[in-house]
Structure 1
Amino acid sequence: MSPPPAPEASVAEEAPPEAPAPEAPIAQAPAPEVLVAEGPMAGLTAPVTVDDHHGCPATAVLRRVGDKWSPVLLSLLARGGHGFNELDRSVEGLSRRMLIRTLRSLERDGLVSRTVHASVPPRTEYALTDLGRSLREHLDALGRWAVTHEAELAAARRRYAEHL
């Protein structure tokens, strides 16, 4: 007996190749508009890109002084040099780990100096650098502004909350 005949292969009709869709023109971003022509913010453009934001020196400084513990430590060190243990005891709620991290960041940014005294036991002292003292002046001004406008800020927050 011979094997059953193979079913006839149906020849599928080939669809004609589709014409490629016309390419949409690539939208060009509008040229940035210069907002500030002179002064420390010269060349600021709109829209601000992510790279602009990340590369902005002011943003980097605000990140540093806008964290939870840097302003506190800068204020303490503005009064004079402090040893590590002295700083540790001076700030309630600040863990040793976070104290170390914050001091290292302030030191890395050149705002705080660290001096290890060869004594037994070794003593480490932290102090503001000239750069740190110059920043401190601006933080003091910001603090004065906040105190002066505290009532206005609170009233604005209340008005905002009422409209939610």
Structure 2
Amino acid sequence: MDLMIALEFAGIVAALAWMGAAAVLGLILLSADRDGDDDAVLRAAAESALISRRGIRPAMSVTLLALVVLAGIGGFVSEAWVLLSGGLSLTAWVVARRSAEPACDKAIQMPHGAAPFQARQALRLLRGSLMLQLGALAALILTPGWSEAALLAGLAACLGLAVALARGMGEGASDAV
């Protein structure tokens, strides 16, 4: 029983570290391209890759390991929140590890002329990974059943469509001016 309590504690601490690192990453990504400053974008790419590599991925891995072990012991493996948070976390981990972090490293090593474009692409990939992580954290916190998961997915789809439409309208309006 003491091992389960220690595992629960490790999972909670890792989830809190994951949330904190994700919040810092979100703030860096929000402030990266405010004024079109290329140096700020390159600095954000370097900092984001470091936070992702040394903060988010280890905390996410410990959280997922604790989740899988505790869900297996408790018989919750087929619950919606376990599968959703596990799937979203694994997808975010793969996106960060296989595409976003190498793109950030490549942008840092490129000549200054082409580096900001590559860094902006890398930051877009990190934004996608961060959105997946936020979905995984929401599934961990809300612990939805299958019917609630379907409602949350519909709500997320509507929110994503609204953001895409707002961005499209904003780009069209700025092109017209």
Q: Tell me whether the two structures share a fold, i.e. TM-score over 0.5.
A: no
Higher helix content, 1 or 2? 2
Q: Which has the higher contact order (CA 8 A, sep 6+)?
A: 2
